Amino acid sequence: VEHAGGPLLIQGGPGTGKTTVLAERFLHLARHGAPPESLLVLCFSTTAADSLRAHLEDRLEGAYEALAVTTFHGFCARLLRDEALEAGIDPFTTPVTAADRLAMLLERIDDLPLRHHDLRGNPSATLGAIVQRIDRLKDELVAAGDYAAWASALPEERAREREFAELYGAHERMLADAGSLDVGDLVLHSFRLLRTRPHVRHRLAERQQRVLVDELQDASFAQGLLLRLLAAG
C-alpha cells in the first residue's frame, strides 16, 4: 500500500481482501524501518488475531516474541496490567465471562432487587438478558453511576427502569467484591485511563507508533472513542 501518512481507511465487502491489505501494510511498514513490535494490530476475535499474527510472523521470516496483534479486549487487559497503578486497579485482576457473571447473579439472586422483573419459569433467561443489557451500556460508555443518575429522575411509573439501575449497581458491587472485571470494564477503564492521563497516552504512543484495525466497522462506540485516544499521539 503506497500511502504518504495519516489515517487510511480501506472499505469493501466481505471477501474482497481488506485483511490482506492490512497485512501487506504491516509488512510494508516493517520492511521500511518501523520495528514490528511498534505496530499495534487490533482484531475482533482471538481466532482472527492468532491467525493474522502467525501469518505475519511467517512472512517476516524472523523471530519476534511480542508482535502486538491482539483483540481490543486483549489490548485493554495488557494496558491495564502495565498501567495498573495509574488505572487504580489490581494488576492481577482477571476478566470474567458473561457466563461467570450470570452464575454470580444466580448464586446471589436473593440479594438482588427484583420486584419488577419477572423470574417465573426461567430466572437464567431474565438475568442473562440483564447481563447482556449491561454489556450494551458499557459498549456505549454508560457506567452504573451514570445510569443510576439518569434513572433517579424518572417518574414512579418507570419503576422497572429504576430497578434495573439498582441491578446494574449490584452487578458492579459483586464484581468489585470478587476482585473481577468484565470485558466491558476493560474498555471503560482503558478509555478513562487514556483520557485522564496524558503521560500514559504519551508512553503508549512511543511504544505503539501505528495502529491498524481489522473489521473497523464492527467497533463499538466505546472502542471507537478508545481508538481516537490511541491515535491522538
pLDDT of 34 reads 86
Strand partners, 40: 211
Query: Using CB atoms within 10 A of its CB, is residue 220 exposed (0-12), middle (13-18) or buried (19+)?
Result: middle
* Residue that the C-alpha cell 510494508 belongs to: 28
Give the pLDDT score at 51.
Answer: 93
Mapping DSSP to helix (H, G, I), strand (E, B) and coil, where does residue 97 land?
A: coil
pTM across the whole model: 0.85
CA angle 140, 142, 143 (to 5 degrees): 140
Cα(209)–Cα(232) distance, integer angstroms: 11
pLDDT < 70 stretches in the chain = 1-5, 62-65, 233
Q: What is the pLDDT of residue 37?
A: 87
How far is residue 232's CA from residue 213's CA, in Å, rounded to a whole number?
15
Give CA–CA dist 176/164, Å, rounded.
Answer: 18
CB atoms within 10 A of CB 215: 14
- What's residue 122's pLDDT? 84
